[in-house]
Amino acid sequence: MSRGCFDSRNMDPRILLQASLTLLIFVASSHGQHLKSGPRLKMDQALLTFHNQLTEEVQLFYTSDYCYKCVYQRLATVRPDNNNASVVISTRFTLTLQVESWTRNATLCRWSQAYGEGGHYSVWIQMSEAASEPSCTHSVDKRPNNTYLPILVSALLLAVIALLYFVAPSVYRRRCTSNFIETICCQGSQYSVDDEGEPAGEATTKAKPTRLRSLDTFRGFALTVMVFVNYGGGGYWFFQHAPWNGLTVADLVMPWFVFIIGTSVVLAFRSMQRRGVSRLQLLRKTTWRTVVLMMLGFCFLNYSPRDGPYFLGPERNPTEIGRRFTSHPRGFISSFSHLTRLGLVQLSGVETQYHWWNPVQDVVLYWPQWLIIILLETLWLCITFIMPVPNCPTGYLGAGGIGDNGLYPNCTGGAAGYIDRLMFGDNMYRYPTCKMMYHTTQPFDPEGVLGTINSIVMGFLGMQAGKIILSYKELNVHILGRFLAWAVVLGISAAILSKCTRDGGFIPVNKNLWSLSYVTCMGCFSFLLLGAMYFVTDVKGWWGGQPFIYPGMNSIFVYVGHSLLGFYFPFSWEMHFQQSHWEWLLQSLWGTALWVFIAYLLYRKKFFLKI
């Protein structure tokens, strides 16, 4: 065969698949953009050209409206007499720009605008004919891309798949059980037969399964979203962690995971007590689980095979790995599960006799544990707002850097960051979410020591949900009512603490600090989600929890697996079209769907990785 011939039989199938995916992305997203003249812009970027028609030099400054009280940063300098300067700007958030003249010592113009991805814009700085003062005129040289089109297409495709999944079996069953066939088959019979070949009257006497599908569904939903955001969430900023204060989708999943595992621990302890497991055996099991998960955290969860056979750089050391793993939901809940035995009342000791406190028995019966949580939260508040931090204001909760008018550049995280730096020195995580926007220089770990206290409180709220299920067993109205009441109380608390603002509250909602308002806000969401899933799956039986129930029942396998292999083929590939979100979103959805499918296959084989 000559060199010019193509033989697909000799091609690596991985290359063929990657070529097919590349062609698909090219057709969907390029729109001929890469063939046009001009600079090649990446995702979340736009080109801004300033035309200076004045006789004096001007300086351009900018700041992001998401950055709280941030100092303006220099963008460009444009020489006089019809000169221009082009800069690439970020389109993630609204920008405030201003044009200054050092000759006049004045700000010529200032404006705020959200620029579109891939757009080309021009700003003409010239003298106004009417007022004889400098003015800035804007024009669009090239229209931006529709950033949300990939999400819309993906949502429609997922909706069609879900519709087919639920409608197709219903249509098939209706076709197979038409009135004519039902009359022929059931003529003369006095009772129907279920799928197992048993009379329906006898089948209905079987005990209902005690495992709550809503717990596995909620856990699987949180894990699925976690895998999706770990793959980059299509490159969208709202699928990634917030720069500092505020909430994004990525900020929701970890507290959900902690919450639902807290609920599962209470129910698991109750089940083991029913089987006659002693306290000593529970202690041994809890200790063994903690040790195993700590080893997993050291060996797997904070290690990528891409780093080589043994990698412990400045952001990964044994202390750091162990500390980060303590806030991992399963590692944390294993250590915290000892608190479930500190109460004076047994988990199985639900009173049947009526007392005045029966309506709130899920709180009264566990008052010793509530006392511990109150003491822990008091400790967090005292350390956060009373502990002195050198060269920083007491009670500081900001990001530092250029935030807060640049007054506290080395105070990132306040007391939380200071404690971590005291304990671990420079061997800390150096790329926090605030680094790019706030230009911070201090290392900061969003899973630090002080934040672990509030992560325990989040787990305790999940355990409170489990106690509600036990205290009001088979009283679904009471369970859903208690879930709603807790959601309302926690939601109001979060609103008061944050003043319903992102940055201006007493305690802003902040995942980096695991602030109190963040815990109460996420507790509100968790009770609402668990209540909704409990009603739909366990009470009404309208939904079996698919597909989230599959990764929910194999959460350790999916989490460890995607951490180890998630960035290798076929779960991901090297992207070639970075001008838009199409390829990145496809890769994120593909990798997530593949892990859900693997969990489904394991579910069919009845393989569940447990520790």
Residues catalogued as catalytic: 241
| Long-range residue pairs from 111-116, CB within 8 A, at least 24 positions apart, any chain | 111/136, 111/138, 112/65, 113/138, 115/46, 115/48, 115/89, 115/91, 115/144, 116/46, 116/91, 116/143, 116/144, 116/145, 116/147
**Rounded Cα distance, 350 and 469, in Å:** 11
Residue with tokens 């309302």: 488
Neighbour-count burial for 325-362, b at 16+ CB within 10 Å, e otherwise: bbbbbbbbbbbbbebbeebeeebeebeeeeeeeeeebb
User: Torsions phi, psi of 121, nearest 5?
Assistant: -130, 155
Q: At what angle do helices 250-274 and 449-471 cross, to 10 degrees?
A: 50
In angstroms, how far is the first alpha carbon of the chain from the final one? Answer: 56
3 state SS of 76: strand
Q: Which among 510, 457, 454, 448 is positioned nearest to 324, based on CA atoms?
A: 448
Three-state DSSP at 105 gives: coil
Bridge pairing between strands 106-113 and 95-101: antiparallel
Long-range pairs of 422-430 with CB within 8 A, sequence gap ≥ 24: 423/449, 424/319, 424/320, 424/323, 426/314, 427/314, 427/315, 427/317, 427/319, 427/320, 428/315, 428/320, 429/315, 429/320, 429/324, 430/314, 430/315
Dig out the tokens for 24 from the structure.
């698909």
Q: Smallest Cα–Cα separation from 401: which of 446, 429, 441?
A: 441
